[in-house]
A and B are shown apart, each in its own frame.
Chain A
Amino acid sequence: MFRRASRSLRTPFLHPRASFATRALGRLPNSQSPIVSQPHFFNSVTGSNEQIPAFRLLDGTGVPIEGADLPEIDEAFARKLYENMQLLPNLDNILYNVQRQGKISFYMTAYGEEATIVGSAAALEDNDEVLGQYREMGVLLWRGFGLDNVMAQCFGNHEDTSGKGRQMPVHFGSPKHHFHTISSPLATQIPQAAGVAYALRRTPDRSNSVAACFFGEGAASEGDFHAGLLLASTIPSPVVFIARNNGFAISTPSSEQYYGDGIASRGPGYGIDTIRVDGNDVLAVLTAVREARARSLDQGRAVLVECMSYRVGHHSTSDDSFAYRARSEVDDRKRIDNPLVRFRLYMESRGWWNAEAEEELKSRLKADVLKAFKHAETQSRCELSELFTDIYGGEEPWNIKEQREDLARLLKKYGEDWEPWRVELQKFKNKGQELSTK
């Protein structure tokens, strides 16, 4: 169903009138632009008044749409997809409430975007380098990161392998799972993805890997978005850019985020293959990202995938989205266009799933999540001395050393007496002893 674009020959879109004029009037000396004799303004990458089409395979009730060419997947793979999708809301439900109880400081749910995240993860190879924004925990879980690591990071305890409790919840990272550590600033990962992919190209044994870079439609307004796509197309580097267009950047609707035809319209501006896909259709996302990955490797250049979805949850636990959108709008979207229901209905139609399996899965996932949560909740933080490690590689500068000693001195002096410190020290492994007894 996809036409494989050749590496060097890409048919540029030509207006019918323009192609006629080309023969008559020739071309510009420093570009391939044909000459036309009439002013030709344009404001579309499709060449018509239609918006960029969105690729879909399953309708809202899980029935393949007319002409759909479903990817060949077996029951085991379908179950893996569904279980991973279903894991996200189960995890979100508990961690959202845990945050509300004040046990963790912050959380971001993925409600409504399960198909986009899990479908992409499934389309990638497990050693493709992932540079996420912050809502891509599902990719890590797909790769076997595990619930204990998720919980440890969210609680920032001493088992946090992502960052020793230095970052807010959901800032995961794992070299083993080829998942670069999340940082809060938006879009900074986008030009980095170009550099990562260029490194892959230049590393023996990694030339079959791509960088997969996730970001929201809001982040695509940042300068780093444009820098990143420009570099990954110009230098060129095999990056699959995956825009999660979920309709909102915190409270700002996408209609106020851009005036053009979404994020996809920008791809051709950078000369890269681009597709818009129904982000609530996991099979469509799977197919589109697989094809994007293949093109990216084949061309050695960036490819852009825009996944159209809807953020059912609030932006984060610091946000109440009903301040800027109606509860009924969210309920409607959940009912009419639910990525989980859509795929479940498809699986049921194949005889791969039923109510019993659903029940079993939900109670199993809930139990797994609760078990991990209960373990993480009781763990202490790292040693307090980790405050001063991992700043510089090699020799430690005098100021870091001196400031650590200064804190140690203060702990010795006030640590047991000053209530706010005494209480806080109890949360750390060794209770700050490694500093204050030195």
Chain B
Amino acid sequence: MTTNTLRSLSGSLSRAGTTATKTRISVSVRRRNATTATQTNPAASVEPPPAGGHLPSIAQSTFLKQTRDQALKTVGIKWADTELDEARGHQSSALGSGRETRKMNTYQAIRDALSIALATDDSAIVFGEDVAFGGVFRCTLGLAEEYGRERVFNTPLTEQGVVGFGIGYASMGMDGRTGKGGTAIAEIQFADYIWPAFDQLMNEASKFRYRSGGNFDVGGLTVRCPTMAVGHGGLYHSQSPEGFFLGMSGIKVVIPRSPLQAKGLLLASIRDPNPVVFMEPKVLYRSAVEQVPTSDYVLPLSSAETLVSGSDLTVVTYGTSVYRCEQAMHLLNNPPEKGAVGSNIRDAVKDWANHPAIKSNGKGKSPSIELIDLRTILPYDLPSVLQSVQRTGRLLVVHEGPVTGGVGMQLAGEIGKRAFLNLDAPVKVVGGWDTPGVALQYEKFYIPDEIRILDAMLEVLAY
């Protein structure tokens, strides 16, 4: 699928896309050298790919809701007006009949969530670098015009300042009746630039409630940041830093996989009584398009979702890697006729079917894989993963972030501890290599792609 077809998928945004591309280039120029001018070459006739990149395979994903009906039946969806109805003692239409959906890409869905947050909560503010004109990834498009510059505004270039400001804002009881703190929705332009704010998150936000014995909290703080690789981000526009947050008790970390998920999980994060770091896989901003309910809803935090049920291998992943795992499963079930990939798969499946243990188990002829989207990284849904691995006996964890100190090793440790006797194979983790970052020209060999995931699946199955 070409860039142009994908762009047309995102509807009327091709014009906005062009502007955005130019701006984003200037942003990265400024990042490298703050003093050089932000010129772009007007002579360039071929439009560069958007900074968010594209992942063509996403368009075919069966995980994206293509119809209104599918979207409204999303597992775990909770409608805000239903809650209101229930609070008022009315009978509610729980199934969501009569609700509207609209085709949205991820940045539109995030923008929709932010708009709902601003509309339903007077204390809510949205701020960060370049937020007022719409954000370098367009997630705040038109919000400043709609809700005013007092509530949607630019900040100077200071990540520690942005998060510190948000903490201060969220620490104040702004609602006279409930004492609820202010809702501060901060944007860090790239997850790669969250490090100056790490002190504010680690030493301040995560400890705010604990250190004050519950006197103060910053539950109203949500820090959004684009994350993961896009094909051309290099060392400083590709990082997946979620592993560093695993030891940050008091904070929640959430990573959505799609527009519908992003909207519901972001609204849940904004309204959660804890500070949340919300990482948005930036290749999905444009590439992932699906039907998204237009009304106000949330999806549960700390709750993994089983996307495909299976009996022989549990694959746990999140964010962009969800689609690569889907592709790998597709390859496994449809091995290419020719070449090493196909013959490897066919051999592995044959071995699997002939394995005495498998035969005696009465399992199927080809391995069946269970795919789980972890969604919340901290505190993660260990019970769901454990329950699955106890059934399948095998676990593979896939993410872009480096293996050492990452989510995969965390899960491997917990599962090894709790499901030792259920395991038929060692837990396998496929992640980014332990290089100091995502090297620009080498990205294809850094990010776990379909073939690496497939190979890992075969390895774990063959054990």
Chain A residues within an 8 Å CB radius of B383: 398
Chain B residues within an 8 Å CB radius of A162: 212-213, 215
Per the 8 Å Cβ criterion, residues 207-247 of A in contact with B are 211, 223-224, 226-228, 230-231, 234-235
A392 within 8 A of B: yes
Does the CB pair B204–A185 fall under 8 Å? yes
Chain A residues within an 8 Å CB radius of B203: 183-185, 188
Q: Pick from B168, B182, B212: contact of A173, CB below 8 A.
A: B212
Known: A391-B249, A391-B250, A394-B272. A183 touches B165 (CB 8 A): no
Taken together as a complex, chains A and B put the C-alpha atoms of A171 and B249 apart, in Å, by 21
B53 within 8 A of A: no
Give a binary string over B198-221; 1 marks a CB under 8 Å from any A CB, 0 the rest: 011001100111111111110100
Closest B residue, CB atoms, query A197: B168
Count residues of B near A (Cβ-Cβ below 8 Å). Answer: 51
Does the CB pair A188–B200 fall under 8 Å? yes
CB A240 to nearest CB in B, in angstroms, measures 14
Known: A162-B212, A164-B213. A198 touches B169 (CB 8 A): yes
Selected interface stretch from A99-107, A174-182, A430-438: A174-182
Per the 8 Å Cβ criterion, residues 146-199 of A in contact with B are 160-164, 166-167, 171, 173-175, 180-181, 183-185, 188, 190-199
Taken together as a complex, chains A and B put the C-alpha atoms of A393 and B273 apart, in Å, by 5
Q: Pick from A181, A185, A192: contact of B168, CB below 8 A.
A: A192
B144 within 8 A of A: no
Closest A residue, CB atoms, query B386: A398
CB A226 to nearest CB in B, in angstroms, measures 8
Total A-B residue pairs with C-beta atoms closer than 8 Å? 170
Does the CB pair B196–A180 fall under 8 Å? no
Chain B residues within an 8 Å CB radius of A171: 211
Closest B residue, CB atoms, query A192: B168
Does the CB pair A202–B165 fall under 8 Å? no
Does the CB pair A228–B164 fall under 8 Å? yes
B353 within 8 A of A: no
A200 within 8 A of B: yes
Does the CB pair A199–B182 fall under 8 Å? yes
CB B71 to nearest CB in A, in angstroms, measures 27
Chain A positions within 8 Å of B, measured between CB atoms, are 129, 131, 160-164, 166-167, 171, 173-175, 180-181, 183-185, 188, 190-200, 202-205, 211, 223-224, 226-228, 230-231, 234-235, 386, 389-395, 397-400
Chain B positions within 8 Å of A, measured between CB atoms, are 123, 125, 150, 153, 155-156, 158, 160-161, 163-174, 176, 182, 184, 196, 199-200, 203-204, 207-217, 219, 249-250, 252, 272-274, 302, 379, 382-383
16 of the cross-chain contacts (CB-CB < 8 Å) are A173-B211, A175-B215, A180-B171, A181-B212, A183-B203, A185-B203, A195-B169, A198-B169, A230-B158, A231-B155, A231-B158, A234-B156, A392-B250, A392-B252, A392-B273, A397-B379
